[in-house]
Amino acid sequence: MFSLFDASLQLNGFPIKKAKADLDKIVNLSENEKAVFIEKQKKEIVEFHLKNNSFYKKIAGSSNYENWESLPILNKKNLQSPLKERLSKGYKNNAVYVNKTSGSSGTPFIFAKDKYCHALTWASNFMRFGWHNIDLNKSYQARFYGIPNDFIGYYTERLKDVFACRYRFSVFDLSDAVLKNFLIQFKTKKFDYINGYTSSIVLFAKFLQNKNIILKDLCPSLKGCMVTSEMLFEEDKKLLEKQLGIPIINEYGASELDLIAFQNTKGEWQINAETLFVEILDKDNNVLPYGREGRIVITSLFNKAHPFIRYDLGDIGVLDEKSTVAKPILKNLIGRTNDVAYLPSGKKSPGLTFYYITKSIIEDDGNVKEFTIKQTHLDSFNVKYVSEKPLSEIQIQKIEQAIASYLEPNLKFSFVRKAYLKRSKRGKLKQFTSELVNV
């Protein structure tokens, strides 16, 4: 079916018909054929950039491809030069897809994709959403995202939403009065699915829980909910399944790349092995075997406009032991490499450890709606939270005792109750941050 969204991509120079046909061929390769295809594509994309991209040639230190393991690891700081210096020969700013990363890692940069590569990104999206009977050409999306405040930016996004068959719920104000208006939209519109930032949809689910409402009862057309961009904890998933009354599908992606992993119908977090090549590396850049935790490093197999070859995304994860080259499975996504808490004892711990421990206590009575944790000194942390009433001394003591038990004692916490929590320009809520530098 070729519909409005397909047509808008095609008219803007993104060859979606060809991309869908080519992706279909890749998907239907046998396991052995796909392994051969991936190796061939890896070699071809490297050789292309060594020949046509002076930026990559300089970083690689060579104009010849020797072997995969000898290639450098790119990171976000490498890519913070002007875009025109990073584009391949023959590609200009006005003839490629250009966008900016969200900056959630603290290192934003502008990137580019050639138009065929961007079309493949959308073909990949169509296929993966289709696993769950969602057709991006006609299924109506309830979109929980941010939206620009300026006039042109605001109406540009609204127009995009019309072409993409979606209605946007801005996540910058999630007060009860606004969430009541959300409910009206779900009562009057036939949404097929929800898509958006995890924290915002979880907050909406807590509102539904407080009102004793199952969203599927109000909007029977709903088929599923895709959460993205922020960690989904198991308890939150259970809450979403209960209050939304629909399957919860977890996705993991990066705007500069593609959908990286998407939950399939078996509940597996299936890695995109059609347009990407994903590796897990240790601190010395050695490839780790399946089941071992390390840095997620990704290669875009088709982007000729801009090199993303062995690109360190800044995330930590584990590939499942049952993974194959043709079908890798993401077993666990632990967090970002810069979301690490450094403790007085010398111990290092993922910042989300604090978040997870605190969460298990702080939300047990439904009082606290959401919260963030910031490390201010080696032994000091600030917790900001939104709630109907302040935390009790007993709750605060329980949190401090749990953290002392799981991590180490004598850590200091301050708790600040807020009317709302500040989100990024795109509407993301960063759950743990650290102010420490040069630790």
Quote the tokens at residue 178.
């606004």
In a domain, 57, yes or no: yes
Measure the CA–CA gap between 285 and 265, rounded to whole angstroms.
33
Total domains in the fold of the chain:
2
| Domain end (from 304, 335, 366) | 335
Closest CA to 55 of 78, 27, 99, 85: 85
Q: What is the 3-state secondary structure (H, E, C) of 311-329?
A: EEEEEEEEECCCCCCCCCE
| Domain end (from 297, 316, 335) | 335
Q: How far is CA 154 from the centre of its chain?
A: 23
Dihedrals φ, ψ of 166, to 5°?
-150, 155
Question: From the CB of residue 323, how many other CB atoms can be counted at a distance below 10 Å?
Answer: 22
* Residue 233 and residue 326 share a domain: yes
* Residue 316 and residue 355 share a domain: no
In a domain, 103, yes or no: yes
Closest CA to 432 of 389, 361, 370: 370
Q: pLDDT tens digit string along 287-306? A: 999 999 999 999 999 999 99
Structure confidence at residue 352 (pLDDT): 65
* Residue 305 and residue 375 share a domain: no
Q: Does the pLDDT value for residue 170 go beyond 90? A: no
| Domain end (from 311, 335, 359) | 335
Would you put residue 410 in left (φ > 0), alpha (ψ -120 to 50) or beta? left
Question: From the CB of residue 289, how many other CB atoms can be counted at a distance below 10 Å?
Answer: 10
* Residue 292 and residue 409 share a domain: no
In a domain, 439, yes or no: no
The pTM of the full predicted model, rounded to 2 decimals, is 0.81
Instruction: Using DSSP, state whether 3 is helix, strand or coil.
Output: coil
Measure the CA–CA gap between 17 and 369, rounded to whole angstroms.
44
Q: pLDDT tens digit string along 226-269? A: 998 777 888 899 999 999 999 999 999 988 999 999 999 999 99
Instruction: Using DSSP, state whether 163 is helix, strand or coil.
Output: helix
CATH number at residue 406: 3.30.300.30
Q: Are strands 293-300 and 330-336 parallel, antiparallel or unpaired?
A: unpaired
Q: With beta carbons less than 8 A apart as the criterion, state whether 41 and 326 touch.
A: no
Confidence of residue 108 (pLDDT cuts 50, 70, 90): low
* Residue 322 and residue 365 share a domain: no
Q: Does the pLDDT value for residue 200 go beyond 70? A: yes
What range does the domain containing 426 cover? Answer: 340-434
Q: With beta carbons less than 8 A apart as the criterion, state whether 246 and 216 touch.
A: yes
* Residue 348 and residue 319 share a domain: no
